[in-house]
Structure 1
């Protein structure tokens, strides 16, 4: 894999321009950005990452999908990526611009805080297609994509609710934004489906990945009486904290049972590879459109599409719990039922979703309240 430096490479841009002129490449009026490629050219695809590619979490899941993309589509060169790019508008804009200048015709920006810089850079490069993960703004050459992780969160809540003996589950949470709030709520609904007496206590870290802070938060939750630790964080340190204390956990992003085998019962995981392949194909063929199809998102796939799933269970998970999860999963996949189906109350006991009603995609994507059973503030 080729890891890019954070320095601009104007010479490469010049070489690419000469090569384009020599081969007669040009934009076709009927084709979308990046569709105008010759058979002998590689379609360059770039990636911007919030963390390192070996974080065993969010970034690693995207990077494994990048490798999958190149394996599935031989005409794609997705070797350009930049790790550890902060959600600082100036720095993110510079890196995204760099990738565009280096000839990448499709650029995936894979963290929420890259949304505004992505939109800004896209205006300067109308012949480049940009895909932003977890945001909500689109443009003619910018799509917004995400996965219905709340579905896998709900399933993992079933596992956690069956496992807790103290009826207090700790949740180490990154940022108080709808994505994270939605996941906490779905997890709690799963917990309370099987254990109405259990509660989920949330601690905000205000960081996506900081192993030390995450571990401290998990230890504080364990000290307060929690005997299961769940997380919306990129490192496995909350699971490792649970293991050190002889407790159990629910990981996130990838199979964290590999890092904390005695604690981690399962992990809601991402599988971005098929989405990346389908999207790059559509862009190349000129059929891709940025038009939102689910709320404000161009793409929002879930269990049915395989975008989200559960990692293999640890040996401590009973067979009857696995069977229950399988039943609930099939119910979701069938479309007969989804997680945010009423009746659902908020923390104050107010009915937020009436019996028989289901939250719309827009309502889920803008969620800013906690369900009953969550301890903590959604702010």
Structure 2
């Protein structure tokens, strides 16, 4: 009996060892032969058909089209900024994603935290400024589009009152407001900007309410650094005009949208994945625009301007000239003299704000009313 049991044990162990070997062998062959890169994305909301997350979804689709079966993409939607983001990013890392794009400012610290736990994985944080050996940052110079919005607003307004809806009082949003003011001032020194802070990236009800307040106070042109088309829809109902955000929103308010600043993330996603696949991914700044940390604008096509509409041809021509001047470098939006809205000189004539100074913006320039919330 003991001999029979011993024989059975040997057989079982042998079969298990064989299956284990076969399974391990198959896995190693797949890994060696595969040229597939696993890519993760973390989204703040569902993509829908407009705005910030939808723009990232369009970029992801460009990745799929460009790489085909050479990429395997995982996406997690509706991830709040904060502790839950840490959990989601960590799960994507555990799943073997080799590069993970975290697509909102509030994911900055969670991204850095998880990156320390997974030093061999590359992370790309969108709109942040904190970096590490395996965390790079990607951003668009949104403020360039807002300067052009200011030019159009200054030429189109009849009341000289512009209503602006801000998300959060952080440098990225403030530099957009100030760029808008620079564009406005370049064509209309009598117009001014009133800002209402929504303290959210996306809330159609809050955005609609803010738009109503602006219009009730006399604004006939509206701008936003929030994510829904609610502002434009209110503008159309009330006979005002405005600008789309992140994606073309003309379908939601065809009579109100003057143009939209479009976030074109696809080229950045593709270049960073290519860099990883070619063992050239890094976090340093080099002669190649796409190396390391990226902050691209109109000249890189990361920022696009939609068709000009609901405006006379001469206004469209002036707006297009501003686009070309920014692209060519002939126009520096934040060239001196720059004076804040309390009369303090920020920089004199002949000087310009560098990128570091832009990320330190905590003041309104002339043309913007009120104070930044503390």
TM-score of the superposed pair, with normalisation by structure 1: 0.88
CA deviations 1:42-85 (Å, max 9, x no partner) are 21111111111015000000010001011011244353111111
Please state whether the residue corresponding to 2:78 is helix, strand or coil: coil
The aligned counterpart of 1:177 is: 170
Q: Are positions 1:104 and 2:93 aligned together?
A: no
The aligned counterpart of 1:323 is: 317
Distance in 1 (alpha carbons) for counterparts of 2:49 and 2:128: 22
The aligned counterpart of 1:220 is: 213
Shift of 1:353: 2.2
Gaps of 5+ in 2: 1-22
The aligned counterpart of 1:298 is: 293
The aligned counterpart of 1:70 is: 64
Find the partner of 1:139 among 116, 132, 135. 132
The aligned counterpart of 1:8 is: none
Distance in 1 (alpha carbons) for counterparts of 2:26 and 2:347: 55
Alignment size in residue pairs? 347
Residues 169 and 198 of structure 1 are in contact (CA less than 8 Å); yes or no, is this contact kept in structure 2? yes
Shift of 1:127: 1.4
Shift of 1:153: 0.9
Gaps of 5+ in 1: 1-16, 26-37
What pairs with 1:57-206 in structure 2 (closer than 5 Å)?
57-88=51-82, 90-206=83-199
Find the partner of 2:302 among 303, 307, 311. 307
The aligned counterpart of 1:335 is: 329
The aligned counterpart of 2:356 is: 362
Distance in 2 (alpha carbons) for counterparts of 1:19 and 1:145: 39
Shift of 1:349: 1.4
Find the partner of 1:22 among 15, 18, 28. 28
Residues 268 and 308 of structure 1 are in contact (CA less than 8 Å); yes or no, is this contact kept in structure 2? yes
Residues 210 and 235 of structure 1 are in contact (CA less than 8 Å); yes or no, is this contact kept in structure 2? yes
CA deviations 1:324-374 (Å, max 9, x no partner) are 122222222112332111111101111112112110010012211111110
How has the CA–CA distance of structure 1 residues 18 and 91 changed in structure 2, closer, same or farther, with 3 Å as cutoff? Answer: farther
Find the structure with the greater CA-based Rg: 2
The aligned counterpart of 1:273 is: 266
The aligned counterpart of 2:245 is: 252
Please state whether the residue corresponding to 2:41 is helix, strand or coil: strand
For the aligned residues, what is the CA RMSD? Answer: 1.8
How has the CA–CA distance of structure 1 residues 44 and 108 changed in structure 2, closer, same or farther, with 3 Å as cutoff? Answer: same
Residues 155 and 328 of structure 1 are in contact (CA less than 8 Å); yes or no, is this contact kept in structure 2? yes
Shift of 1:262: 0.9
CA deviations 1:145-196 (Å, max 9, x no partner) are 1011111110111111111100000001100000000101101111111111
Answer 1 or 2: which has greater helix percent. Answer: 2
Residues 36 and 72 of structure 2 are in contact (CA less than 8 Å); yes or no, is this contact kept in structure 1? no
Distance in 1 (alpha carbons) for counterparts of 2:135 and 2:229: 32
